[in-house]
Amino acid sequence: MATLTEQMQDLAADIVNGHEERRAWLQAFRADADAERQDRKASVGSLKKEVKSIRRDNRAWVDSLADDVGAMLKEVRSDVEGARRAWHGLSHTVGGRPAEGRAAGKKGGLAKHGKAKRRG
């Protein structure tokens, strides 16, 4: 059996060793955490660039789609106007009824549908 002094010295050495092991583990943990944080920063940076590129591509696609739809809408309007002219003759106007109707004094526009401003 060891003496009390030897036991106390062993206990003190174990405590010191425990502190040193804890300090070494904490330093390794912080180094790993820093490395992981740097990796995450790098991946976030690359993801930001990728998202920016995707948004730019999507914006270009939407703009192209808008141009295509606009062109198709122009064609449809032109076709409808051509059909109106063919149906009503050359006297047809864009207002939606033949010129003779206006000459005869018929009401048109919003007043025709009861949506005209009322004065009074």
Q: Give the model confidence (pLDDT) of 65-120 as tens digits.
A: 999 999 999 999 999 988 888 887 765 555 555 555 444 444 444 444 444 555 54
User: How many domains in the chain?
Assistant: 1
Asked whether residue 107 is assigned to any structural domain, the reply reads: no
Res. 59: pLDDT tops 80: yes
Characterize 33-63 residue by residue with b for buried, 16 or more Cβ atoms within 10 angstroms of its Cβ, and e for exposed: eeeeeeeeeeeeeeeeeeeeeeeeeeeeeee
User: Do the domain assignments include residue 104?
Assistant: no
Is residue 32 in some structural domain? yes
More confident residue, 112 or 17: 17
- Asked if residue 119 belongs to a domain, the reply is no
Q: Measure the CA–CA gap between 82 and 92, rounded to whole angstroms.
A: 10
Q: pTM of the full predicted structure?
A: 0.38
Residue 80 confidence (pLDDT): 92
Q: Is residue 14 part of a domain?
A: yes
Give the domain range for residue 42.
4-87
- 112 found inside a domain: no
Confidence category of residue 12, pLDDT binned at 50, 70, 90: very high
Task: Report if residue 117 sits inside a domain.
Answer: no
Q: How far apart are CA 76 and CA 66, in angstroms?
A: 15
Computed over every residue of the chain, the mean pLDDT equals 81
Residue 69 lies in a domain: yes
Q: Region 56-61: what's the mean pLDDT?
A: 92
How much of the chain, in percent, has pLDDT values that exceed 90?
A: 53
What is the four-CA torsion angle of 92, 93, 99, 102, rounded to 10 degrees?
140
